Structure 1
Amino acid sequence: MIASTPHKAIQDVHVTNRLYSAEMDFNCFGQDPIGSYMLATIPRSGSTYCAIRLWQTGLLGAPMEYLNFRVIGSLLRRLGYQVSDMGYVPIQMMSAYWSDIQRLRSSANGMFGYKMFTSNYVAIARHSPNFLKEITPQYVVYLTRQDVIGQAISYSRALRSKVWFAGVADTPAVDYDYAHIKDALCSIGEQKAAWERVFEMTGAEPIRITYEDLMTTSSTVIDHILNAMGVKPDESRAISVPMIDRQTDGVSKEWRERFTEDSLDDAEVEAIQV
């Protein structure tokens, strides 16, 4: 993996695109991974930040959204895969695709990880149910966010602006919308419940972490994940992976104050938070 300072042409590409480029491939493990995990999460939980922090250890692969075919067009093209009209890699090519991804994105110690949202899990289950068995991980890291109001506000803004990361030029402004934020809050609750059903059905015992702990005690959280997977922490194996900018501004604070006031008599919102 290239760890030196990139030239200007690469610097001008948004970080999230670089993360799927050949520049960031490990391409150093030519067999099936010896260990695997899924980073299960919900939108606006800091999942990309978490994925990069895991990646930077040099011990946990590169857990990105390899099964979210809507966002990895450049990766698919460079590997020679075409997405069908339904938006998926053809069923008969899924196994070959997954083998290619594991070869390129397993770290030198043989660990492979991938990130998954509930929507992607359901889509794969409907499109290629047999493939779910093939991607069953040894471990699950489940990332959630305790501040669900902040999460819902961020989710609402991203859904309506269609911008999910900081640093995107010409990001459109969106207005405060109580009903939409409430819908986003309901969706977060439904997605959490969906993951719990998946864990129950599959017998998974996830390594549970929160966005808040990750932001305040990042090294402790990462070491906990490594130890839970039986991987010995080793700072000498750390690698350089570009980090995304944090999305934060005064708008979210203003919207939180308005939403808190508007929801005072809304029993449904109170129930969701509980």
Structure 2
Amino acid sequence: MHPEISRRRKLYHENQMSAGNDISAGATPTFRYCIASTPRSGSILLARMLAGTGAAGAPREYLNPLLLRAWSRLNPGRRLSLGAYMAEIESRRTSGNGSFGMKLHWRHVKNLLARNVPETVVRPLLMRQEKFIFITRRDKLRQAISYHIAESTGVFHADQQEWLKDLGAAQPPLSPERALRHLADVLEEERGWTDFFRRSGKPFLHVEYEDLISDYAETCSRIIGFLGIEAASIPDMTPRMEHGGLPERFREEVLKATGIRAEQFDAA
């Protein structure tokens, strides 16, 4: 990853956690929901759509280690307690109708547990979310390739694509082996959420990336209806092509490494 991109990412995350992005002060949610996601599944597009309604809070990855560190940089000297931190975020990011949303990859849950945050703290945080939107992607190989490219460049969001052009940064070398490891990561994260829903019985709506892209308005209407919020309109969030079409070109290389021809994979 280019050093300047690392610097810009830090600033980007600090901006996400700054008071300038708050939508409330001292609010208490009456409804909480979570976008349960895996990397490169369209969850950012979904979160921005929901935030754009003005009736679904400001869902972001508040438990992402990068955002937690950004909060700590913005609050030097303050001890990070998960319960107090989430109460503060809820007070600042709850919409006027009482809705609070967050976005969470399963690896963020695993990260908290790995940092010795007790399960007795993590599980209640999940259980207090009243509804979940579970977004996945049918084409796991394209998802894994997109994940690999994002990790290699440090560019995860569409509005960060210009960084690579600004810097004239060369594309880091891509590895079919690493892409396949990311495929295993995606499958593991998806299984983590599936197991959670099975054990917890929490209500969730399963949405797939491909449907969000191909039938945006209908899929968004279904999501808003499931959450039970009233939105005046569905924000126009037209997606951009991922990494300039590079995933499609690299896909052939990954398939070649596995010994699978593209037509065989697509037929399966």
Q: Which residue of 2 aligns with 1:131?
A: 121
* C-alpha displacement of 1:79: 5.1
* 2:67 matches 1:71: yes
* C-alpha displacement of 1:100: 0.9
Greater mean alpha carbon deviation, residues 242-251 or residues 176-185: 242-251
Q: CA, structure 1 residues 70+18, in 2 after alignment: closer, same or farther (shift >3 Å)? A: closer
Secondary structure at 1:71 match in 2: helix
Letter in 1 for 2:16: L
* 2:38 matches 1:42: yes
* 2:163 matches 1:168: yes
TM-score, scaled to structure 2: 0.79
Q: 137, 150, 155: which one pairs with 1:145?
A: 137
CA contact (8 A) 1:52 1:243 kept: no
* 2:147 matches 1:159: no
Secondary structure at 2:221 match in 1: helix
Secondary structure at 1:33 match in 2: coil
* C-alpha displacement of 1:141: 0.6
State the Cα deviation string for residues 89-129 of structure 1 (Å, max 9, x = none): 2xxx3222111100110111000011111111122344132
Q: CA, structure 1 residues 222+207, in 2 after alignment: closer, same or farther (shift >3 Å)? A: same
Bigger fraction of residues in helix: 2
2-structure distance, mates of 1:198, 1:253? 33
2-structure distance, mates of 1:178, 1:172? 18
Q: Give the fraction of aligned pairs with identical amino acids, expressed as a percent.
A: 24
Question: What CA RMSD, in Å, does the superposition of the two structures yield over aligned residues?
Answer: 3.0
Alignment of 1:82-231 (within 5 A): 82=78, 89=80, 93-125=81-113, 126-132=116-122, 133-136=124-127, 137-165=129-157, 166-169=161-164, 170=167, 171-231=169-229
Letter in 1 for 2:45: Y
Gaps of 5+ in 2: 1-9
Q: Which residue of 2 aligns with 1:20?
A: 17
CA contact (8 A) 1:167 1:245 kept: no
CA contact (8 A) 1:223 1:233 kept: no
CA contact (8 A) 1:58 1:239 kept: no
* C-alpha displacement of 1:59: 0.9
Secondary structure at 1:130 match in 2: helix
1-structure distance, mates of 2:22, 2:104? 19
State the Cα deviation string for residues 70-91 of structure 1 (Å, max 9, x = none): 23434444456746xxxxx2xx
Query: What is the aligned length?
Result: 246
Greater mean alpha carbon deviation, residues 201-210 or residues 125-134: 125-134
Gaps of 5+ in 1: 1-12, 84-88
